[in-house]
Amino acid sequence: MKCAVIMFPGSNCDIDCYHVLSEVMGQPTEYVFHKEKFSPGDFDLIVLPGGFSYGDYLRAGAIARFSPAMDSVLKAAEAGRLIIGICNGFQILLEAKLLPGAMKVNKDLKFHCHDVFLRVDNVETPFTGLYKKGEVIRLPIAHGAGNYYADAQTIEKLEAENRIVFRYCDRSGNVSDAANPNGSVKNIAGIINKQGNILGMMPHPERASEDILGSVDGKRLFKSILRCIEGRTTIYGR
């Protein structure tokens, strides 16, 4: 599985993502600088990492969305390549309109940096195949603007199409206001596009992929992706 991690000015989880993909997962991984372009066929997986691209000026992700590398990401998205946006990467995907909705600052205006529990609501995606439906996992969040918003019509559509992949919940899996760290509509922590190749999520799976970090719940996400890509290779002989 060939992986790319896009580096925007102000990205700060790029090295973590690179480390997990190359060292923990053992996959060939490259950094792509925000000024670089690439072809849709160059990578099986493209990661938009967390951080504060362009200082989060104007709105989180608003300026990164116009980087030259994002033109290539848009083309890869169209070609059906797998793309995951984590934290700031999710915000960039929203600004690029690859996923619907927008992020506002957290409801309590605080930067939230702690572990959360998530319920995995859709396991029929390339990113979540190795989780169990309804399973509760623990991943860290670290964001000031993770308050997901979309209008009622969009939310209805996301729910009807089973595109809400992760929701904030308590340790028993109850999706409640008390378990919602940022005010997101319907406790949304991660959504996928209709075609099923683009996932955006606020929590950080790359920070929970090694025992030494206290949780390996995130590693299964990368394993799921690998399984999907390798599976395709056997099916299509690519």
Residues that bind another protein (CB under 8 A): 58-59, 62-63, 66, 94-95, 100-102, 104-109, 147, 149-151, 183
Residue 65 or 81 having the CB closest to another protein: 65
Active site residue 113: no
- Minimum distance of another protein from residue 109's CB (angstroms): 6
Residue 58 or 113 having the CB closest to another protein: 58
Q: Say how far apart CA 149 and CA 100 lie, in whole Å.
A: 9
- Minimum distance of another protein from residue 110's CB (angstroms): 10
Active site residue 161: no
Catalytic residue among 13, 95, 143, 206: 206
Q: Say how far apart CA 226 and CA 206 lie, in whole Å.
A: 14
- Minimum distance of another protein from residue 134's CB (angstroms): 29
Active site residue 87: yes
Catalytic residue among 3, 13, 169, 204: 204
Radius of gyration of the chain (CA): 16
Residue 109 or 160 having the CB closest to another protein: 109
Residue 54 or 131 having the CB closest to another protein: 54
Catalytic residue among 87, 95, 143, 228: 87
Residues belonging to the active site = 87, 204, 206
